[in-house]
Structure 1
Amino acid sequence: MTAFQRLILRASGSRSRAANAITLRSLITLIEGCLLVALGVRLLQAGGLLVSGTAGMSLLGADLTALSFGSLFFLINLPFYGLAWKQLGLNFTLRTLGCVSLLSVLSDVLAVSLPLGTVSLPVAAIAAGLLIGLGITLLFRENASLGGLNILALHLERRFGIHAGRTTFAFDLLLIAIAALVYPWPQVICSALAFATLSFVLGRYHRRTPQTAQPASPAHDKQVQTAH
């Protein structure tokens, strides 16, 4: 199971207040996360690059059709809400639906209101991976996600025993292979760099989250109490 999927499971299983009710703080955090991801998507669009998951599918589709990224991203995610509800709960699903809808709007607004000239492909790839990764971690903190294939991968693992990491890795390879048929090699290579940067940010967040820390032993607690 990838760090992405472990984060989704942790978010959906959270028992904190943020997991049960929308507060002003959590609402602001969700908006911030979606805005960071939208900025990352805008950089990818400027460089003609892709990223993993349904966002990559939407970017590819937007280049090949007359539909916008936002429209495609919203439509592609529709089939996954049923699985999210079944696997991860109604609260998580509703928050995810809200975040996907907001990102769809923000990305299309930025495509019009934030024109970018020629960008360095490696810089755009790394910056986009960082922005999207940080944005997604903010959404996870508030029991939400951007839906997509990771939810399908978790479902396949639970029902059929197919390792979720293999499912997402296979899809990413397929997406890169399709991109190789559509884009010049510099864009394909830098798209892979965006994939890697996003995965690095999510993996680093997973290792550093306080919820993964080992509980202190009774002996350690006794030492702390004695010290005070």
Structure 2
Amino acid sequence: MMQGTLPSPAVQANRPVSVKPHTFLDDLYGIAVGVLFVVMGVLLLQAAGLITGGVAGISLLLSYTSGYSVGLLFMFINLPFFLFGYLFMGARFTIKSLAVSVLIMAMLKLVPYGLVIGHVNPMLAALGGGTFCGMGILALARHGAGVGGTGIVTLWLQKKYAINAGRTQVLIDAVILLLALLIVTPELVGWSSLSAIAMSSMVMAWHRPGRYFGN
């Protein structure tokens, strides 16, 4: 290469990117934003009587039949997945994810005191709720945390075997939605499917190995 000649864009793109790891404040802010997105998404879905994928969807489904709060169910369903996370994703990831789960449970209890959703169109709830949940999951994953549950398994599969987390989540969500047909009307399951697609699409599109270099 001649002196003073700039390398081609392709060469520049293949060079390793030097980045600084996230600071404690970076993680704190990113996790707080992620939790808020997930909570708002769940509340939108709950207001329309919909469900979504992952543990959030399982919790919503059981809350409609058991009478227990979605936040409490979310916490308890997550417990065995946290053990999996500790064994295969490490203590740091698990501690962050456990803190996230506690925060989500607390905010699902507190936010309805300041925000009452009287009516929401099912299509808007499905698209908005699913997208909010997906953005929250994405924010948490980029700061080394997860909402727990199936998300821990999908992130581990991506980290270990490079299997796209969004695609794996779609398969898990399909099973959850099929089970929902036993409890929820087909029309609501249809809208819930849209919410699950919206949520998984966010993760599938943006949470790819090599696309994001932060730690």
> Same fold by TM-score, threshold 0.5 exceeded?
yes
- 1:225 is aligned to none
1:111: which partner in 2? 112
Q: Is residue 194 of structure 2 the alignment partner of residue 193 of structure 1?
A: yes
1:154 to partner: Cα distance: 6.7
Q: Is the 8 A contact 1:83 1:155 kept in 2?
A: no
Q: Quick one: distance in 1 between partners of 2:166 and 2:36? A: 27
> Residues 120 and 196 from structure 1, CA distance in 2 versus in 1: closer, same or farther, beyond 3 angstroms?
same
Cα offsets for 1:21-80 (capped at 9, x unmatched): x61232121111101110000000000111101111100111111210100000000111
1 CA distance for matches of 2:126 and 2:133? Answer: 11
The one-letter amino acid of 1:135's match is G
Equivalent residues in 2 for 1:73-84, closer than 5 Å: 73-84=74-85
8 Å contact 1:176–1:192 — kept in the other structure? Answer: yes
Tell me how far apart the structure 2 counterparts of residues 46 and 154 of structure 1 sit (CA, whole Å).
29
Pairwise CA distance, 1:171 = 3.6
Residue 8 of structure 2 corresponds to which residue in structure 1? Answer: none
Describe the shift of the 1:32–1:166 C-alpha distance in structure 2 as closer, same or farther (beyond 3 A): closer
Residue in 1 that maps onto 2:65: 64
| Residues 1:55 and 2:56 are matched in the alignment | yes
Distance 1:154 1:136 in 2: 11
Q: Which residue of 1 aligns with 2:145?
A: 144
**SS across alignment from 2:182:** helix
Distance (Å, rounded) in 2 between the aligned partners of 1:57 and 1:194 = 14
2:27 matches 1:26: yes
Counterparts in 2 of 1:139 and 1:167: CA distance versus 1, 3 Å: closer
> Structure 2: how far apart are the matches of 1:40 and 1:144?
18
CA gap 1:157/1:186 in 2 versus in 1, 3 angstroms: same
Which of 17, 20, 26 does residue 21 from structure 2 map onto? 17
Which moved further from structure 2: 62-71 or 22-31? 22-31
The 1-side partners of 2:159 and 2:211 are apart by 24
Residues 1:48 and 1:26: Cα distance change in structure 2 (over 3 Å)? same
State the shift of 1:199 in Å. Answer: 1.2
The TM-score with structure 2 as length reference comes to: 0.79
1:125 partnered with 2:129: no
How large is the RMSD of aligned CA atoms in angstroms?
Answer: 2.9
TM-score (norm 1): 0.75
User: Structure 1 99/204 Cα, relative in aligned 2: closer, same or farther at 3 Å?
Assistant: same
Structure 1 stretches of at least 4 aligned residues deviating more than 2 Å after TM superposition: 15-18, 110-113, 150-159, 163-174, 206-211
The unaligned stretches of length 5 or more in structure 2 are 1-18
| Aligned residues with identical type, % of pairs | 33
State whether residues 81 and 152 of structure 2, in contact with CA within 8 Å, keep that contact through their aligned partners in structure 1. yes
Q: Which has the higher helix share?
A: 1
Unaligned runs of 5+ in 1: 1-14, 212-228
Q: Compute the displacement of 1:145 (Å).
A: 0.6
Q: Return the letter of the residue paired with 1:95.
A: K
Q: What is aligned with 1:7?
A: none
Structure 2 residue identity aligned to 1:209: R
Corresponding residue for residue 209 of structure 1: 211
